[in-house]
Amino acid sequence: MPGLTAYVGFYEICSPKKGEHVFISAAAGAVGQLVGQFAKLMGCYVVGSAGSKEKVDLLKNELGFDEAFNYKEEADLNAAFKRYFPEGIDIYFDNVGGKTLDAVLLNMRVHGRIAVCGMISQYNLDQAEGVTNLMHLVYKRIRLHGFSVRDHYHIHPKFVEFMLPYIRQGKIVYVEDIVEGLESGPRALVGLFKGLNFGKQVVDVSA
């Protein structure tokens, strides 16, 4: 599922082109890590954000991202994007919404595309944060597209055909976070919202 979500979101929703500038939030997550690797395979410049030093290291050292940063250490996200994308962002793969999306909008390039896969920063708020920079959709003619893998199950065979050679050749790696025993499930679920997991959070109930 995360693999197909990443495939659909990047190739079908973002219409990527070689050399484009790609930003991915929650980039060490189950979907984000694959989007980043797909974008690198296409010859894009790829930056990811995550919530810990360990995740940032994983993105840069294991998953081949050009750059990565810990969003919790950035007091001014707009300044961070200006630093990592002095020429602007063509594609934003959005897993978090909220303040990150708002700052990205300021830094998008003309004809940019934003795939909205999730908005995890907003799920547990009583009142969602307001996004104030939507005027940039008009200034820069940006497409912002929410999607669900549920609408795209029919391309699963195409996805498998695409993925298998890369996995066999070791050109795509996939990090999972496995906890043991059903009793670990609730803690693992809460951890998702705190950003404690690396990649797909799996609970092994046979342990």
- Binding footprint of its own copies on the chain (CB under 8 A): 97, 101, 111, 116-119, 122, 127-148, 151
What is the C-alpha separation between 106 and 88, in angstroms, rounded?
9
Inter-CA distances, 100 with 42, 142, 159, 168, Å: 25, 16, 29, 35
Instruction: Please identify, using beta-carbon distances, which residue of 5 and 203 lies nearer to its own copies.
Output: 5
Rounded Cα distance between 147 and 13, Å, is 8
Nearest-angstrom CA–CA distance, 170 and 181 = 30
Q: Please identify, using beta-carbon distances, which residue of 12 and 67 lies nearer to its own copies.
A: 12
Nearer to its own copies, 77 or 119 (CB): 119
Q: How many CB atoms lie within 10 A of CB 202?
A: 14
| Shortest Cβ 5–its own copies spacing (Å) | 12
Q: Which CB sits closer to its own copies, 52 or 122?
A: 122
| Residue 70 CB contacts under 8 Å (≥ 6 apart), including other chains | 49, 50, 51, 52, 53, 55, 56
Q: How far is the CB of 35 from its own copies (least distance, A)?
A: 16
* Of 75 and 138, CB closest to its own copies: 138
Q: How far apart are the first and last CA of the chain?
A: 23
Q: How far is the CB of 101 from its own copies (least distance, A)?
A: 7
Whichever of 75 and 135 has its CB closer to its own copies, that residue is 135
Shortest reach from residue 111's CB to its own copies, in Å: 8
On the 0-12 / 13-18 / 19+ scale of CB atoms within 10 A, 10 is: buried
Q: Considering the complex, what minimum distance in angstroms separates the CB of residue 172 from its own copies?
A: 25
Q: Which amino acid is at 143?
A: R
Q: How far is the CB of 48 from its own copies (least distance, A)?
A: 20
